[in-house]
Structure 1
Amino acid sequence: MSELEFHTLLVQGVFLVAALTVPALLFISAPYGRHARGGWGPQMDTRLAWMVMESPSVLWFSAVFFAGAHAWSLVPLLLLVLWQSHYVQRAFIFPLKIRPGGLTPVSVVAMGFAFNLVNAYVNARWVSEFGRYELSWLLDPRLWLGVGLFVLGYRINRRADAVLAALRRPGETGYKIPRGGLYELISCPNYFGELLEWTGWAIATWSVAGLSFAVFTAANLVPRALSHHKWYKQKFPDYPPGRKAVIPFVL
């Protein structure tokens, strides 16, 4: 089996995992954050869990990317900046803003770590080795449509995280209803932002590898957003009835 055939097999595996993830998360909420519960084995500090789980998307992606024959070409470097702008923040900055004391099952961390190893490899290897991104790609509207969607999603995601971080003052515990911005329309604008980001990535790379990640992101985040939305409505009798879960006016 050649490496390209192996790469193709892994991409197909990501699509398969996405297909299995949807029914699983519709019936079982991932046991961390507001859905945390026992029965999932040993646990670890949530901030450390995020760093461990997301670190392959920074470190392994970089190692695979710079091993590619086209790593120092302009378009692949632009795509690298997009990817790392999300994951450096997600792996090493966002966790430091999480309030201490939370616990996450090690099993969840292990599954996330394993997926990120595969996903980082298939996307990095495509962008810097198997894909062909000549300078002419800079004139292709697909690149800039994808970049625009990615940047818009990134800004939405960061803004939503900032609103959540500001909900509780030092020393406060419990949950509140987030308000302002897209929170007036949907319960999970942070997830909506990520959906836009990785849809943009799929368009900018115009690759099956990128598409597989966009599909998995939707398979993972949409059911989780529905769980969040249901949880908000159950916990807060005065929760705004007009809000959707994750896509404004739609879902």
Structure 2
Amino acid sequence: MQIKIVSRSGKSKNLPLTIDIPADATVEQLKQAIYNEVPKYYPDRQRLTINQLVLQEGKLLKDYDIKEGDSILFKDLGPQISWRTVFLIEYFGPILFHPLFYYFKSQIYGEDFRHSEMQTIAYYMIMAHFIKREIETLFVHRFSHSTMPFFNVFKNSFHYHALSGINLAYWVYGPWNAAGKRGSEREEWLLWTCMGVFAWAQISNFYTHIILRNLRPPGTRVRKIPYGYGFNLVSCPNYLFETIVWFTVSILTKSIAAWLFLAAGSTQMFLWAIKKHKSYRKEFKDYPKNRKAMIPFIA
């Protein structure tokens, strides 16, 4: 059958375009056909809609009641970059900046000093967190969307490079927190408690990522209801445990920079959790009614 592809903005010189495609074709096949006609528009760059519905990959055109002669709106999403690459770039910032501030303290702060026990523990906790995130990005995560607009990488990276990278490192490893300075020492019980809660939250976060990974077979965008550790209470326990991780860092360091990153990060994760929670409940009619979005028994 013949389908007309029309530019949503009306500004593309390559559109409108008429595509010949089988009646039982998939959305992926339609995107590939458009790409064959206009190589600039590779599949990940395309957003197709009909009757205000976005055509989802993994579905047939007939699922949207698309017939001979119908017109489909096309939007160019612009140059894309893979989500995996974006995550690697984001987490690399703190991995780079924290060692610079920690090991080159005399060059950065203009004086030499000995790190306090708090600073050393905080350094290894933060480095362990971001190295874990890089490993998960490479070997654990399976993404529902393979790419995102290229220029978003700069906005996304600012959160990590600036807030949890430069800003956090500068204030935590400075001479005002050095060994022997007033206010730099922490009781032994607090150090061990923070390390223990941090380790538990990191392991818990990793385990929830494994559960999510196992829900989606390789190379697919299958969505299922997650069950198990943490998921019986909230839809996004991975965000909950991530928040606990940064709460322990904030308690340990007593740094305004750490509390700022916690506030920014937890707020964003809560908004994502609300969105995902609503999506689960809309998509799955049998979704557990007693679950909250991110905070057990509350929201």
Please indicate, yes or no, whether the TM-score normalized by the shorter chain is above 0.5.
yes
Instruction: Select which of 157, 162, 179 maps to 1:134.
Output: 179
Structure 1 residue ranges without an equivalent (≥5): 1-37
Contact 2:119/2:177 (<8 A) preserved: no
Partner of 1:56: 93
Q: Within the alignment, does 1:197 sit opposite 2:241 as a pair?
A: no
2:129 aligned partner:
86
Q: Does 1:223 align with 2:271?
A: yes
Provide the TM-score with structure 1 as the length reference: 0.77
Q: Which of the numbers 129, 137, 147 marks the counterpart of 2:195?
A: 147
State which of 193, 214, 220 in structure 1 corresponds to 2:262.
Answer: 214
Taking only the aligned residue pairs, the percentage that are identical comes to: 26
Distance 1:70 1:141, change over 3 A: farther
Which of these residues, 151, 155, 161, is aligned with residue 107 of structure 1? 151
Larger Rg over CA atoms: 2
Give the CA deviation at 1:39: 6.6
1:99 deviation in Å? 3.4
2:16 aligned partner: none
* One of 121, 125, 130 as aligned partner of 2:166: 121
Q: Tell me how far apart the structure 2 counterparts of residues 197 and 238 of structure 1 sit (CA, whole Å).
A: 32
Q: Cα gap change, 1:247/1:71 in structure 2, threshold over 3 Å: closer, same or farther? A: farther
Q: Distance in 2 between matches of 1:183 and 1:226?
A: 14
Q: CA RMSD in A?
A: 2.3
- Secondary structure of the 1:226 match is helix
User: Which moves more between the two structures, 63-72 or 117-126?
Assistant: 63-72
- CA 1:143–1:168 in 2, change beyond 3 Å: closer, same or farther? same
Q: Report the 3-state secondary structure (helix = DSSP H, G, I; strand = E; otherwise coil) of the residue aligned with 1:153.
A: helix
Query: Could you tell me which residue of structure 1 aligns to residue 22 of structure 2?
Result: none
Of residues 46, 55, 73 in structure 1, which corresponds to 2:83?
A: 46
Q: Going by fraction, where is helix more abundant, 1 or 2? A: 1
How many angstroms apart in 2 are the aligned matches of 1:172 and 1:63? Answer: 40
Paired with 1:39 and 1:131, the residues of 2 have a C-alpha distance of 51
More strand by share: 2
Residue 243 of structure 1: which of 276, 279, 291 is its match? 291
Query: Tell me, what secondary structure is at the counterpart of 1:111?
Result: helix
Q: Which has the higher contact order (CA 8 A, sep 6+)?
A: 1
User: Any idea what SS the aligned residue of 2:230 has?
Assistant: helix
Classify 1:97/1:88 alpha carbon distance in 2 versus 1 (closer, same or farther; 3 Å): same
SS of the residue corresponding to residue 87 of structure 1 reads helix
Scaled by the length of structure 2, the TM-score of the pair is: 0.65
* Structure 2 residue aligned with 1:158: 206
Distance 1:143 1:159, change over 3 A: same
Extract unaligned runs of 5+ from structure 2.
1-74, 106-111
- Count of residue pairs the alignment pairs up: 214
Residue matched to 1:233: 281
In structure 2, distance between residues paired with 1:145 and 1:185: 24
User: 1:105, 1:54 → 2: CA distance?
Assistant: 18
Distance 2:280 2:94 in 1: 31
The Cα of 1:151 is off from its aligned counterpart by 2.2
Alignment-mate amino acid for residue 223 of structure 2: Y
